[in-house]
Structure 1
Amino acid sequence: MNLILIATAPVLIILFYIYYRDKYEKEPFGLLIKSLIGGMLICIPIIFGEQWTASMLLPYKNNQFIDAFMDAFFVASFWEESFKLTAVMLLVWRNKNFNERFDGIVYAVFVSLGFALIENIMYVVNTDNGLHTGIARAFTAVPAHAMFGVMMGYHLGLARFIGKHQSFHLFNAFFYPFLFHGLYDFILMSQSKWLLLTFAPLMVYLYIRIKKRLLQHSNDSVFKPLNLSDD
């Protein structure tokens, strides 16, 4: 039970933070729960998709870095970000409550962390040192999934409300999470001490990038009083 709590706590903390950052017009609790559960359920097709792709790529694996690249981008990142985006589109894209740009971030993060919750529990419970794994992932994998969700939601907000170049923004809603998720996994899967030196700078860069994205959509909220400035 303690391991389940360790796996769950960072997800809940980030969810509450995103909910708090949606300052001007909160999303319906029921739709948020539906998005979270949707993210949990996509674990099933993702597992099958990743297993199928891994088996297809097996004959081409003969190099440490190429193997890590294929596993990071075409096994993990592709399937996970594809189904996250599909879940958001099916659950909320046409929903009347998706009525400002920041909502895209909220719903995408809830879907992403629904997936991250199940993934985190599986990692923590099925490893010999679950406590160490849970603590490490609380500061790495779980925030990373949330940041990928912010990237996705940021571009979904633009696609829904900018009114032009919608296809371009929808493409970016997949491309940027796919790119940075793949890069994140590639650094770790490569097991290269030189590449691992870039891991902390990558996380710092993602944090700065995500903070700007949150601030931008929050400042652009149609529900924000004109005399208020965000921070």
Structure 2
Amino acid sequence: MLIQLAAAPVFLGLFYIYVRDKYEKEPWRMLFLGLLYGIYTTAVIYAVGLGLEKIFPHVESPIYTSFISSAGVEEVTKYIFLVLLIWRNGNFNEPLDGIVYGVFVSLGFAWIENIIYVTHPVMGGYSTAFSRAFLSVPGHGLFGVQMGYYLGLAKFFRGKKHFLLAFFVPYLVHALYNYFLLEKFSFFWIPFWILEVWLWWSALRHIKELVRISPFRE
């Protein structure tokens, strides 16, 4: 049952973004590869994390965990895999595709990460599954929207700054998202929920914008 609970929010997110891509659907093979690339990132992120611990021994803190070992390693890895998957691929033929593949890669990672957390003998269980279903998994999907949005702009509007923003924006919001959750100060719930609302508003606005300017709309 825990495995199903870990998968449910992932597949809801994948279904939603697939439905929103209404003018020119992506091939199933590419969508599967996007999900598979996201799953692959889990192993790379784990290996890099172990390497960082050996090279730079450290005491875990909310700042280090949020900005380096979590958002830093995860978003760099997802960014590299996403670029390798779509940048020179002919199926990346409209800006919205950046968001579609960004979400598939991000939720591929979130799927495996969620299984690890909810089945953990100490941290796992139903409460973990439900809390992550509403916060962590959607969070990864929203970070993927930000990454894919700016990558789509970089590809089709030749904006070098967008290529940088495709990494920097999801990295920053991911780091802040985790930091507000990990810090023990109760008043940090205020900026956390402000960030949460902004992420949803921004993601829905980005999707609507790129659907509207799709070259396949007519």
Task: Please report the TM-score for the alignment, with normalisation by the length of structure 1.
Answer: 0.90
Alignment-derived partner of residue 155 in structure 2:
160
**Aligned residue type for 1:130:** G
Alignment-derived partner of residue 189 in structure 1:
182
Alignment-derived partner of residue 45 in structure 1:
44
Q: CA deviation at 1:90?
A: 1.1
Alignment-derived partner of residue 111 in structure 2:
117
Alignment-derived partner of residue 228 in structure 1:
none
Is the CA contact 1:155–1:169 (under 8 Å) kept in the aligned structure 2? yes
Is the CA contact 1:102–1:154 (under 8 Å) kept in the aligned structure 2? yes
Q: CA deviation at 1:58?
A: 4.2
Q: CA deviation at 1:57?
A: 5.0
Whole-angstrom distance in 2 between the partners of 1:80 and 1:105: 17
Q: CA deviation at 1:54?
A: 4.2
**Aligned residue type for 2:194:** P
Whole-angstrom distance in 1 between the partners of 2:41 and 2:163: 20
SS in 2 for 1:42: helix
Whole-angstrom distance in 2 between the partners of 1:6 and 1:130: 10
Matched, 1:75 2:74: no
Task: Kindly name which structure, 1 or 2, has the bigger radius of gyration based on alpha carbons.
Answer: 1
Out of 202, 208, 216, which is 2:209 matched to?
216
Q: What per-residue deviation string (whole Å, max 9, x for no partner) do you get for residues 93-114 of structure 1? A: 1111100000000001100000
Alignment-derived partner of residue 180 in structure 1:
173
Matched, 1:200 2:199: no
SS in 1 for 2:176: helix
SS in 2 for 1:223: coil
Is the CA contact 1:7–1:117 (under 8 Å) kept in the aligned structure 2? yes
Instruction: Summarize the alignment of residues 124-143 of structure 1 with structure 2, pairs less than 5 Å apart.
Output: 124-128=118-122, 129-143=124-138
Q: CA deviation at 1:89?
A: 1.1
Between the aligned residues of both structures, percent identity stands at: 41
Instruction: Summarize the alignment of residues 3-82 of structure 1 with structure 2, pairs less than 5 Å apart.
Output: 3-56=2-55, 58-59=57-58, 61=59, 67-82=61-76
Is the CA contact 1:53–1:74 (under 8 Å) kept in the aligned structure 2? no
Change (3 A) 1:49 1:174: same
Q: What per-residue deviation string (whole Å, max 9, x for no partner) do you get for residues 174-196 of structure 1? A: 00000000000111121221212
**Aligned residue type for 2:81:** A
Whole-angstrom distance in 2 between the partners of 1:50 and 1:191: 24
**Aligned residue type for 1:52:** G
Out of 132, 141, 148, which is 2:143 matched to?
148
Aligned-residue Cα RMSD (Å) equals 1.5
Q: What per-residue deviation string (whole Å, max 9, x for no partner) do you get for residues 88-142 of structure 1? A: 1111111111000000000011000000000000000004451111111111001
SS in 2 for 1:198: helix
Q: CA deviation at 1:161?
A: 0.4
